[in-house]
Amino acid sequence: MKNIRNFCIIAHIDHGKSTLADRLLQATNTISEREMMDQVLDDMDLEREKGITIKSHAIQINYKHTDGQEYILNLIDTPGHVDFSYEVSRALAACEGALLLVDATQGIQAQTISNLYLAIDNDLEIIPVINKIDMDGAMIEEVKDQIIELIGCKPEDILLASGRTGIGVDGILQAIVERIPAPKGNPQEPLQALIFDSVFNSFRGIIVYFRVLNGTIRKGDIVKFVSTDQDYEAAEVGILKLKMTEKKEVSAGDVGYLITGIKNAKEVKVGDTITLKNNPTQEMIKGFQEVKPMVFAGIFPVNTDEFEELRDCMDKLQLNDASLTYELETSQALGFGFRCGFLGMLHMEIIQERLEREFDQTVITTVPNVSFIAYTTKGEKIIVNNPTQFPDPVKTDRIEEPYIKAQIITKPEYIGNIMTLCLGKRGILLNQSYLTTTRVELQFEMPLTEIVFDFYDKLKSQTRGYASFDYHPIGYRESDIVKMDILLNSDKVDALSALIHRARSQDFGRKLCEKLKELLPRQQFQIAIQAAVGAKVLARETISAMRKDVTAKCYGGDISRKRKLLEKQKEGKKRMRQIGNVEVPQEAFLAVLKLDD
């Protein structure tokens, strides 16, 4: 055990985590030249296309140190985006140390700080590394000063490296062995292992990834999952190389996988403890914190008869992405579906893409919103996750919405743009401080509702990509929230309803009506599109009817003949409007997400 090291790589998005992981694998000959490709651990198509890591990836490296001893290094490459911080927290729970990567051209950014605090909370040994030192714009001395100020280390503790060219990789491997403590634990004690991830394989069932804290797990053992209280036979155990490598046993301090042939996704919970049936451990491992979804949206199958299939796919996807939460929901417009909780808009987009790619499910996503708390006049507390749960305004005493504390790090020339953006989103400036002469940190308190839609994109465009953004929830505050309904010929379309601040409702309603006018196909009858709050209509657009020229066959003759035909047409249109219903195309639901403010 003294020769095992468990570590992960943490950094802001795009600071070169996956590239450095490639070099570590190459330097230790874990991967042959033939298998080598850029970002080799990002095995999902989506990750390659978007150039981001979505899932944490674990891999075992064998390293021969200069002291002649063989070491086993378990590396976990983590995502950098704020929406996937839950992945990072799970990776940290399986490690003793972390490489904190900082881009020499960008310096410390918001995610660097938040991921660092996560690591410190888990008592990890931090090894600071400045990456991309071969770039033309590298500011090595400035970035060193920033790191020393942030974590209070000595200048000689900071390693310099380049993930692209491989400079400094040997120094990093030596530092991992020398600075990161070996895992504590006893292979002779009862088995105690933490599940930190799982994936679904259509041939083998569910594959569980775990980290053993105490004891040993062997092939053929009868294991027990503590929180579900189920027993299984360990059909195969092993370690994670680039491909899974079977072993007879995996013991304390190591990271491995377990196949038991479980088919039901509900039986595996991330953060659960695995132990042996005949010699169980007395205490459960303190798992991770419960995931708190930030954004809620409905996901519905395009064809209502595909609902059961979608349910299976959601179960399998949740295995691989523990931060996805969902429950059943029905909508008059869309039938049966799910109310899903996501950690952010990028997370929602990724889940939708993965459903379409990995499971061939075409889905309709409703307007995303956050959860509010409504207090009735009788003093009851109602949690409102979607507009249909919104209580009657007459019986409502007050409504509270979630607030977040946002931390934005940028260059001084963009302060004005960021102020305008955040104050326009009902933000309150808390603090402004200069980290260095060229970097300034702004802290705001803002309603989460305002951030959900397009805040991140706007921030990037206002600052030419130079701002980094991180946030955490700080509780609920009273607010003037109203429910805005969209009516088509006086019928509510529940999937287009939105909960919105009263001050923004008129503007939002007008834009939405204009957008729907473009997207809804014309019918034989007139369609009125209205946005209303309660009984008050805020905006209206009208789609005129398609008309057949019924008087074309009249050549000359009395005007009364033409009038008779037109009156007959008018009556028909009236009747049609009473029984005709308006089909809302899928684009209309998506258009709401892309409304430009």
Binding site: what residues are annotated?
A: 14-19, 131-134
Phi, psi of 281 (to 5 degrees): -80, 155
Contacts of 412 (CB under 8 A, 6+ apart): 434, 438, 440
Burial group, residue 207, by CB count within 10 angstroms (0-12, 13-18, 19+):
buried
- CA 156 from chain center: how many Å? 37
Residue 380: CB atoms within 10 A of its CB come to 11
From the annotation, which residues make up the binding site for GTP?
Answer: 14-19, 131-134
Is 500:481 a contact under the CB 8 Å cutoff? yes
Query: Is residue 376 within 8 Å of 444, Cβ to Cβ?
Result: no
Give the pair of three-digit tokens for residue 510: 């007008």
**What is the rounded distance in angstroms from the CA atom of residue 550 to the CA atom of residue 548?**
6
Query: Cα(169)–Cα(159) distance, rounded to whole angstroms?
Result: 9
Pairing between β-strand 236-240 and β-strand 244-247 as defined by DSSP bridges: antiparallel
Residues 6 or more apart from 104 whose CB is under 8 A from it? 130, 131, 132, 133, 135, 137, 138, 139, 140, 143
SS3 189: coil
Task: Single out the residue of 322, 467, 481, 464 nearest to residue 387, CA to CA.
Answer: 481
